Each structure stands twice: as C-alpha cells, then as structure tokens.
Amino acid sequence: MSDTSRPLRHRQATKRPVASASQGRDRWILSYADFITLLFAFFVALYSISLQNQGDEQRLKETLQGVFDAVQKSVKPINIGEPVVGEPQSVDVVDTKPIPVAPPAIEETVSSAVYALLSQVVENQFSGLHTTGQISVTESADWVNLELRSGLLFGQGEYELTNEAVALLMLVANVLKAYPSVILVEGNTDDLPVTSPRLVSNWHLSGLRSASVVDELVYQGVDPKMVAPIGFSSEQPKVRNTSDSAREQNRRVVLRISKREADNLHDYLFQ
C-alpha cells in the first residue's frame, strides 16, 4: 500500500434556496375570490325576494347550491410562487383553514330569502282563504308566521281536526318538510268559558288544539324533534274580545317557523 495519503475532499456547503420575493405576494387571492363568490350569493338572495313562482324558487335553490359548492371546492391547499431558476424546485404550500360557507350575516340573509319564498308559496296555495282572512302569512326578522282561523280546523268547542283541516295541513306539511326548521304551534281561544264536559278550561282547549295540529304535521312527515305545541288560552288576543267577529279573530292556531338553524327544538330553546 502507498504511504501517500489521499487528499481530503471538502464538501461544499449547500446554499439554502433564497425565498423569492414574489412567493407570498399572491396569497390574498384565495380569500378575495371566496369573498366575491359569497357577495354574489348575497345579491342572488336579495333578488330572490321578488320571485313569484315555484319555478323561480327552484332556480334560486340551484343557484345558491352551485355558489356554495364552488366556495367549498375552492378551499384547498394551493401552490404559491414560482421556483427560482437554477435552484431545486421548491414551492411554498399554503395550508388554508376551511372557510365557512358564509359569514353569519350572509347566512341570515339567505335564510330570510328562502323563508320569504316559503311564505309566498303558502299564500299562492291558499289564495282564496287568504282573501277572506281565514289564513294569513306574515314575516318578522326571526320567524315566518302561518295563521289559521280555528273555524278552518275544528268544530265549535272541539279539538279534533275536521277532514278539511287534515287536507289543508297535508299541503302545509309538504311545504314545511322542504325547509326543515323549528316550528312552534300556538293554540289561542277567545275569552268565553268552555262548555264541553270534556274540557276543563280554555287552557285545556288551546293546548289540545295545538297538539292536534302537531300530531297531524308529524303524521305527514314533519320531523317530531323540530315541532312542539303551545297553548295560550285567551291570554294572547289579536284584538279585544268585544264582539263575535273579534272573538272569531282570536280563535286561531299559529305556526311559527323559525329562520334560525337548529338541530332540534330542545337545543334551540334551551342552549
């Protein structure tokens, strides 16, 4: 063996790639694109309030679904920046957090538009009864209210639904099933005392009437976890009980349909 030692080779230090100044400058595009998409959904929802038929309603639902699907698909890790020439191709991966489908304000706006369409559908289906004041649909910030005169649903002093009432509630249930939400069914009476030996008081009558409506809605397919009866007796009159016509207005059942999302009625009320 030769005594001459081999010269040692020194490994040259590998220079770490210098981050390109342009690598981070485009990161705002993801958030901006999603914001524009959601803003578009907001204006679609506002426009929907003026729609007048079920065909328009279906087109609105498809449009909103498409918009929100687009938002969901866009929330994926994306590559930002271009590799520096002559260096190993290394790119930054932006690990984005899932972006909500919409901020709370936009969710509320969309919900309001959808339930406004629900009220229009109900009014169109029962236009004759609406004209005579036997049925009405109103809307507040949090609720859509479907009011039915008791004469449409029950015999005088009774709490069993008539055949006509069952047919009417079948149509109502079909609408409610399309938009699952919390539903409170309120029974109201006038101030005259009950005369039936089966009843104890107007509290009893109002509670049984609201329960009969809930039973029928559940039978027709409304989720039982989302609906509950309430009896108010004569304590929540629309007008003063000073005449027969006034008392007729006060004898009513009101379905209050919430616009706020909830998994079940119990959590909606108590959490």
Tell me the domain boundaries of the chain.
28-82+89-102, 126-270
Helix (H) or strand (E) holding 36: helix 28-48
Q: If we measure between CA atoms, which residue out of 149, 153, 141, 144 comes closest to residue 120? A: 144
Q: Which of 17-21, 71-75, 142-146, 222-226 has the highest mean pLDDT?
A: 222-226
- Beta-carbon contacts of 143 under 8 Å, excluding residues fewer than 6 positions away, are 256, 257, 258, 259
pLDDT at residue 30 in the model = 58
User: Beta strand pairing status for 183-188 and 227-231?
Assistant: parallel
* The CATH classification of domain 126-270, taken from the options 3.30.1330.60, 3.30.390.50, 3.90.199.10, 3.40.190.10: 3.30.1330.60
pLDDT at 195 over 70: yes
Closest CA to 151 of 170, 132, 138: 132
In this predicted model, what pLDDT tens digit does every residue of 98-113 receive, in sequence order? 544 443 443 455 456 5
**Which carries the bigger pLDDT value, residue 258 or residue 35?**
258
pLDDT of residue 229: 97
Structure confidence at residue 150 (pLDDT): 95
Q: What is the DSSP code (8-state) at residue 141?
A: S
Report pLDDT for 249: 93
More confident residue, 104 or 217: 217
Say if residue 190's pLDDT is above 60.
yes
- Compute φ and ψ for 139, nearest 5 degrees: -140, 140
pTM over 0.75: no
For residue 204, the tally of other CB atoms under 10 A from its CB is: 17
What is the percentage of the chain residues whose pLDDT exceeds 70? 55
> What count of other Cβ atoms lies within 10 Å of the Cβ of residue 158?
17
Are 150 and 249 in contact by the 8 Å Cβ rule? The answer is: no
More confident residue, 95 or 217: 217
- Show the beta-strand stretches assigned E in 6-151: 78-80, 92-94, 135-139, 143-149
| pLDDT for the residue 33 | 64
Compute the mean pLDDT over every residue in the chain, rounded to the nearest whole number: 74
pLDDT at 144: 84
- Contact between 67 and 109 under an 8 Å Cβ cutoff? The reply is no
pLDDT recorded at residue 176? 84
Distance CA 99, CA 104 (A): 12
